[in-house]
Structure 1
Amino acid sequence: MKALRRFTVRAHLPERMAALDRLSINLRWSWDKPTQDLFATIDSELWKQVGRDPVALLGQVSPKRLDELAADEPFLHQLDELAAELDDYLSRPLWYQQQLEHGAELPNGIAYFSMEFGVAEVLPNYSGGLGILAGDHLKSASDLGLPVIAVGLLYRSGYFRQSLTADGWQHESYPSLDPQGLPLRLLTDSSGSPVLVDLAMPEDSELRARVWIAQVGRIPLLLLDSDIPENDHDLRGVTDRLYGGDQEHRIKQEILAGIGGVRAIRAFTEVENLASPEVFHMNEGHAGFLGVERIRELIDAGLDFDTALTVVRSSTVFTTHTPVPAGIDRFPVEMVKRYFGGPADERSREGHRSSDQSHESSRLLPGVSLDRIIWFGAEDDPSKFNMAHMGLRLAQRANGVSLLHGKVSRGMFNELWPGFDPGEVPIGSITNGVHAPTWAAPEWVELGRELIGNDDIDTLREPAVWEKLHEVDPGHMWWIRSQLRAKLVADVRARLRRSWLERGASEAELGWIATAFDPDVLTIGFARRVPTYKRLTLMLRDEERLEALLLDTDRPIQLIVAGKSHPADDGGKALIQQVVKFADRPEVRHRIAFLPDYDMSMARQLYYGCDVWLNNPLRPLEACGTSGMKSALNGGLNLSIRDGWWDEWYDGENGWEIPTADGLADEGRRDDIEATALYDLMEKSVAPKFYDRNEHGVPTRWVEMVRHTLIALGPKVLASRMVRDYTEKYYAPAAQSLRRTVEPGADGEPFGAARELAAYRERAAEAWPKIQITDVDSYGLPDTPLLGSEMTLTATVQLADLAPDEVSVQAVLGRVDASDVLVDPVTVPMQHTDTADGGNYVFTTTAPLPVAGPVGYTVRVLPHHPLLAGDNELGLVTLA
């Protein structure tokens, strides 16, 4: 019979071993191998059975074994050392504190919001790259000492567990998670009662959530949980599954994450007596509603809507992860109105009411027109509310996740900055990174410690440390790679056996698995989510040719494939089934396998052991693609389309570029061309280099590529580099912007600078339709202009009610194409030199001609204010 409810009872630890509880509850153990080794010594078999989960281990280990360990002096000595080391890690000054000591102006706190976090497999709150990236962000922020508070949702069934049916179709199951059996603690008030976050829902209902805390090193991760008795039955399921349910379900999740997340932070900082974060970082648009909640807080504090929006924008960072509009959450406008409209909140004060009373007032922002909220998500389809647009309109700073993705994003969101070329759209880029202690094989970490001469792997951030790999003998590097490949083969055989048994095979049929895959054969990995653009089945475009590569007698290849398709994506499931059916064939099943239930533990083995990491998306639809970074961190060579991070860091010696047929309208022909290029590379470049051995059996050319990959890519792919980039380029400027924005005005009034900027924005918006460039003249060029010849430009501008120092007038010069469109122009500021009658102002500049060939120029006017991040921020421009 089945239990009605499942819960976890933890063992009572002997007092001498109480530190085990602290070590188990802080997820730093997930990237600290000595701590993992300590837990393994408690009961090595049980450690494996519970999936290397310290909390589960301590819940199931026998009291007798704990009593034995309480008298085991070597164990206790190791426990004391690790507990002291954790305390030191949590308290000593790290990079962030060192920057403050050197006078850097950094935020006193950062709030990081994401819908998923892949911190450890024991906390399955992730589906793919976005979540793993968020987890790595937190771990590196902890290692660097950043004062981050992270916010997400606790999904009682996580994403899903994947298995295969007999005919290779994906099957999903949703095991229920017990928070008390996870490395979590409940946020409670001074009386010990759980803190509840509550939100008003339509039809006068109330959504409440508890707040669980996952401690990720120094970083508290707040996870909101709606499955509590205080909620009605239908609202208990809001946090049931990650990316499950319909749009109604999804908007509830995103309102809870954004609005509830801000309220959870306020409750947490009050309970813990911490300063509230200055900077708020939205990792994708899912948490965009956090900006609305922050505006509400400021309105409650006495600000008007526009001033509150100004303060919120100054301190918000938005990161987009999708290169296609289809990847953005878009809700029906009527749905958003239903959740945010309705009767004004009784807690409102009359003094908060704005002047736009002709429209329905927002329930969340009493006295503010609902249209103001709807505008945040406005797009070209008036019936849709676009969460990415909301993120961009609520954030003063935004970025993509690779150089190429930043460029793609500037084009994709160009409509929000009409009149600007895509290259001028204010979306930058921070290329993603990966957390080395989580993803680097212990063998490479140990080699690093030997080269450094101590245990401080934090120095891996410095490129000079990676240069020490030049000292390592090629034979030793090959030995490490071979050891890791052999371990992967053993893991693949075990997973293959489990999968075939789940699909209905008998043990008697599975004798072939004992020799499936070969620790000496070139091993290629392909593992990721399975949306169409990642092209899981490109490798099967010519099945006969693939089979020939797999079974080559002299230079065979073996392929390991894994990945989950979204439960509602039957097209993705069909792609998985196609791979499974090919891999099931007796002729090739010892050389290719699809492994179900791709998760962090499987991924780690693949990154460790694969010689080559394959990635063949439709360019440019891969925003970054961090799996290839993790492979490179372990000496794997990338075989990839030039997309995402590979586009900027491929150098010809760290792997292979699969040529692309970008822009080809016939998708089938494009796939044929790129698949053929892939087969050619594997046959004529990759395999020959792997199997070309010296007299000691070492493929010296291959090993030199491995060495070069580690030296060239090692310091670049680190998440510590990524988090430092965010800190220096986004967090610090956002904090500085906030501090300037909230300064008192000349009359000492609080938020005076914000009020003044809000007033300027309103005046600029009103004046802009009236601004005109009435005359442009050029002079000073010789009859035959030469490169570098100087030209003087003057422009007469009608500024309506704005002053000359409230605008930026620019000359734009550059090469022109056949249609007289400026190509890669340069901008030159023009100075106010004279005032004409009727509110006309004269601006002048002298500039050298920047290029040879057909050259053109124009003049434009942009708004200018010292508290704007840039003159393009408001999206206003007037062209001559």
Structure 2
Amino acid sequence: MNVIGKVTVLPQLPPSIARLSELAYNLYWSWTPHAQALYSELDPQVWENFGQNPVRTLLEVPQARLDEVATDKGYQTRYKAVMADFDAYMNLKKTWASKNAPEMKPVAYFSMEYGFHESLPIYSGGLGVLAGDHCKSASDLGLPFTAVGMLFHQGYFRQLFDKDGWQNEAYDEMDLTTLPITPARTPDGQEARVSVRIGNREIQVRVWNLIIGRIRVLLLDTNVPENSEEDRKLTARLYGGNQELRVQQYVLLGVAGIRALRALEVPAAVYHMNEGHAALLGLERIREDVEKGLDFRTALETVASSTLFTTHTPVAAGNDAFAYDLMDRYLADWPALLSTTREELYELARHDQNWDGQTVPAFSMTVFALRMSRAANGVSELHGEVSRDMWKFLYPGAEAEEVPIGHVTNGAHNLTFTSQAMRDLLSTVLPKDWTERLEDEQMWKAVDQLSDAQLSNVQLETKREMIAFIRVRMREQMLRNGAGAADVAATDSLMDENALTIGFARRFATYKRATLLFRDRERLARIVNNPERPVQFVFAGKAHPADNPGKAFIQEIYKMSQEPEFRGKIVILENYDMNVARHLVQGVDIWLNNPRRPLEASGTSGMKASFNGSPNFSVLDGWWREGYDGTNGWPIGEEREYADLNVQDDADAYSLYQTLEDDIVPRYYGEAKGEDSWAYSVRRSIETVSPRFSMQRQVIDYVQKFYLPLGTRGQEVAANGSAQAHAIAGWKTWVRQQWPYTSLSAHAELPATCHPGQTAPISASVNPAGISLDELRVEAVLSRAGHLTRFELENRGDGTFSADVPLAESGLYSVGVRMIPEMDGLSNELEAGLIKWATAR
């Protein structure tokens, strides 16, 4: 047909169910299965066919069916119960924030991707789902919080396997009229539009509202008639283009995102950059302050004082760095707008790269984000350690443990991923308000009151649902690829509900080692084909469209699943999304994760499985290094790194097989009671992981560690026309100018041996090159067993510093003396990035 126009005919909801439309436009339903059931009951086939999307379901269901349920007493009862819960949630006044952080200032949270629900596919994987969960818990806790992101019209790709198991990508254009979004409107009622200059083009950006419980997300969209065809594609695909496109998208997210907040008069005092994609928001915030009359360096200090940066990966590919000439194409106007030079601006992002055998300066989004913020964190304890070591070159002379990058270990949104059956069971032993106290570890001890039978019955129910889902998906895949009738029919009996079932689902990045399980094929075949104690595996995951090695891993597993000894024992599902993820984390018995340590920054899928009573079986990396306590799952390999990757793979594969054979399989099929039983492992996984790795705990950590302090400091630094920012900027300029001319020498009277408690006289002589001695901290640094102890030397007033430094513990000490510039009001003692170590005298 020659389409000349489109019209959306909205349903006429009967008064008794009129609020179904209101609920459909608030993603509260995405973590409320009873709310979802109201829509699926209208037409289960429509609900499934259109990605479990309430808005689309209401559009597709015939008026007669709406009229029918409006008079159905059972439906009315369920509808009223859901709406009562929804109203209670939305109108709750005594939230966690009101009781524990009433002085908290509003937060603006920026992320490239968000995973709220599969019907809004503007996420690719863990980063987006984490951002979505962060928003959900910000709502649950009652935070003053607004998120900013992009509305990708084609989202991330839909994954299709061909008959040989090779991943192909399909991109579907979303119909915005069927999404739970509405045009954002300015205070005077106009549709919100902002513009941003990218290169030599002025691009118009439409802003959409997405409501997540009590908070909102602003989504940026360039697909408007005023823009050229190319510019309309800037918000077409997530991670779908080349470096040129990515840079333009980052300008759009950062600059247009800030302008959207301003156009809508959304208050923000703290700015949280979720990964380096959002780093360019600092450009626009500095421009605003420069326009008000501040100089560049004062504006930089003002902006950075209220900014938090979260880094998510130690993998090089996840830390974008761009050639200067590429950045010139899109940032050429910015130095003038900021009243600075190109050199000074780019130096804030400089990270030298080895490209084609040559060292060249590059514009690193991660470095820029670190320099544009005064607080930074990794996403697990180990990742914090790795990040401090990875970025310590930004603080020459500092040891890794001193680098000012902290950590907040990731969590997951319990209610999004815990099955309704498990939630109902938990409600029988947990207090009435348990969903508001998810982080309360003491509360979760009540799980001990659940009987073995109660737990196994619920888990069998969700396992059956997962198996039914897998069979439908595999049948669809086989029919599409022209499989024979026998193969299609075999899907009806695929997987055994009584067999130990292990799940593995995540991005197919090669460091996640999806194929490690197949390292010893014969041994694996014996494990899965044991007639008395069979084991089966289900895999799912997407590789980035440009990641052929990752696609090869998918194909290898697919082909392995077709081998006679593994047919029906190994299954790999296509099109991994949040729907697949929910089915798997709710249905498997064990969650497998075997990344190459220490490259897994955190990982969250295993947490979600544990919420449902599925213990983790994982390498001690990311969150599991903190989560494993010896009772709630099993480790793979040792807590160490390897110089030889093949040796590491061999060792970890051996550990995987041995633990499966000797510990997991016997426990699952055994009939032991008490602490040796399978039910004990299930209980321990629920009660230890649910509170500690809840998204509620994670967001509370962000509030207490970062949002509250940054809100206070940002306000102080910006007060009185940014007087403190001006003082800090001026001091840094002066100290950095003079630093090369300073000198430091030291002498230590160290005996060959001594006893704990003795002291060592240490003295130092300083040439301050005009810097006040009161602004120099001179300290002895004792390194013992890889840990630093610092002891400040006393200023004698004549350029000499000295102290008797205690040697408290036995052991071998290395002793040094160093000098650090300091002033009141800095965010941390290494903020100036200057350290000078003494020469011996």
TM-score range (shorter-chain normalised) is over 0.9
SS at match of 1:561: strand
SS at match of 2:437: helix
Instruction: Specify the alignment match of 2:22 in structure 1.
Output: 22
Q: Give the partner amino acid of 2:316.
A: P
1:335 paired with 2:290, answer no
Instruction: Specify the alignment match of 1:763 in structure 2.
Output: 734
**Structure 1 unaligned residues grouped into runs of 5+:** 343-360, 745-749, 817-822
Alpha-carbon distance between aligned partners in 2 of 1:656 and 1:160, rounded to the nearest angstrom: 34
SS at match of 2:777: strand
Instruction: Specify the alignment match of 1:97 in structure 2.
Output: 98
> 2:746, 2:762 within 8 Å by CA — same for their partners in 1?
no
2:155 to 153, 158, 162: 158
Q: Give the partner amino acid of 1:106.
A: M
1:674 to 619, 643, 652: 652
Q: Deviations over 1:537-591 (max 9, x none)?
A: 1112222222221111121110001111111112211111111111123442211
1:850 paired with 2:821, answer no
Q: How does 1:811-830 map to 2 (within 5 A)?
A: 811-815=780-784, 823-830=786-793
> 1:23, 1:29 within 8 Å by CA — same for their partners in 2?
yes
Instruction: Specify the alignment match of 2:104 in structure 1.
Output: 106
Q: Deviations over 1:661-700 (max 9, x none)?
A: 95544433432332222122222221111111259xx996
> 1:112, 1:282 within 8 Å by CA — same for their partners in 2?
yes
Q: Deviations over 1:452-475 (max 9, x none)?
A: 242542123211111011112222
Q: How does 1:694-733 map to 2 (within 5 A)?
A: 701-733=677-709
SS at match of 1:809: strand
Per-residue deviation, 1:708: 1.5
Per-residue deviation, 1:435: 0.3
1:310 paired with 2:301, answer yes
Instruction: Specify the alignment match of 1:357 in structure 2.
Output: none
Q: Give the partner amino acid of 2:779.
A: Q
Per-residue deviation, 1:758: 1.0
Instruction: Specify the alignment match of 1:443 in structure 2.
Output: 421
1:386 paired with 2:357, answer no
Q: Deviations over 1:269-323 (max 9, x none)?
A: x2xxx4x211101110001100111000100111100000001110010011111
Alpha-carbon distance between aligned partners in 2 of 1:509 and 1:2, rounded to the nearest angstrom: 40
Per-residue deviation, 1:861: 1.3
Counterparts in 2 of 1:679 and 1:4: CA distance versus 1, 3 Å: farther
SS at match of 1:451: coil
SS at match of 1:67: helix
Alpha-carbon distance between aligned partners in 1 of 2:89 and 2:806, rounded to the nearest angstrom: 56
Q: Give the partner amino acid of 1:835.
A: G
Q: How does 1:165-314 map to 2 (within 5 A)?
A: 165-189=162-186, 192-203=189-200, 205-268=201-264, 270=265, 274=266, 276-314=267-305
Q: Give the partner amino acid of 1:860.
A: R
Instruction: Specify the alignment match of 2:744 in structure 1.
Output: 773
Counterparts in 2 of 1:784 and 1:393: CA distance versus 1, 3 Å: closer
> 1:525, 1:614 within 8 Å by CA — same for their partners in 2?
yes
Q: Deviations over 1:415-457 (max 9, x none)?
A: 1111001111111111000000001111221122111242542
Alpha-carbon distance between aligned partners in 2 of 1:666 and 1:802, rounded to the nearest angstrom: 49
Counterparts in 2 of 1:5 and 1:436: CA distance versus 1, 3 Å: farther
Instruction: Specify the alignment match of 1:48 in structure 2.
Output: 48
Per-residue deviation, 1:75: 4.3
Identify which range, 582-591 or 156-165, moves more after superposition.
582-591
Count how many residue pairs are aligned between Structure 1 and Structure 2.
831
Alpha-carbon distance between aligned partners in 2 of 1:710 and 1:80, rounded to the nearest angstrom: 31
Q: Deviations over 1:212-244 (max 9, x none)?
A: 111111121111011110101110100110001
1:371 paired with 2:322, answer no
Q: Deviations over 1:616-671 (max 9, x none)?
A: 11111111011111111111111111111111221222211111595544433432
> 1:337, 1:370 within 8 Å by CA — same for their partners in 2?
no
Identify which range, 719-728 or 680-689, moves more after superposition.
680-689
Per-residue deviation, 1:858: 2.0
Per-residue deviation, 1:245: 1.0
Counterparts in 2 of 1:420 and 1:592: CA distance versus 1, 3 Å: same
1:542 paired with 2:488, answer no
Alpha-carbon distance between aligned partners in 2 of 1:224 and 1:240, rounded to the nearest angstrom: 11
1:873 paired with 2:816, answer no
Instruction: Specify the alignment match of 2:510 in structure 1.
Output: 532
Per-residue deviation, 1:851: 2.2
> 1:434, 1:718 within 8 Å by CA — same for their partners in 2?
yes
SS at match of 1:452: coil
Counterparts in 2 of 1:788 and 1:613: CA distance versus 1, 3 Å: same
Q: Give the partner amino acid of 1:167.
A: D
Alpha-carbon distance between aligned partners in 2 of 1:627 and 1:652, rounded to the nearest angstrom: 19
SS at match of 2:429: helix
Per-residue deviation, 1:371: 1.9
Per-residue deviation, 1:192: 4.8
Percent identity at matched positions? Answer: 40
Identify which range, 84-93 or 734-743, moves more after superposition.
84-93
Alpha-carbon distance between aligned partners in 2 of 1:758 and 1:446, rounded to the nearest angstrom: 56
Q: Deviations over 1:106-148 (max 9, x none)?
A: 22x1011111000111111100100011011000111001111
1:474 to 452, 455, 476: 452
> 1:163, 1:502 within 8 Å by CA — same for their partners in 2?
no
Alpha-carbon distance between aligned partners in 2 of 1:814 and 1:250, rounded to the nearest angstrom: 43
Q: What is the root-mean-square deviation of aligned Cα atoms in Å?
A: 2.2
> 1:632, 1:709 within 8 Å by CA — same for their partners in 2?
yes
Q: Deviations over 1:772-818 (max 9, x none)?
A: 22444559x8x9632122344333322222223322222212437xx
Q: Give the partner amino acid of 1:279.
A: V
Query: TM-score, normalised to structure 1's length?
Result: 0.91
Q: Deviations over 1:700-728 (max 9, x none)?
A: 62111111222222211101000000110
> 1:334, 1:383 within 8 Å by CA — same for their partners in 2?
no
Alpha-carbon distance between aligned partners in 1 of 2:31 and 2:8, rounded to the nearest angstrom: 24
Alpha-carbon distance between aligned partners in 1 of 2:167 and 2:490, rounded to the nearest angstrom: 24
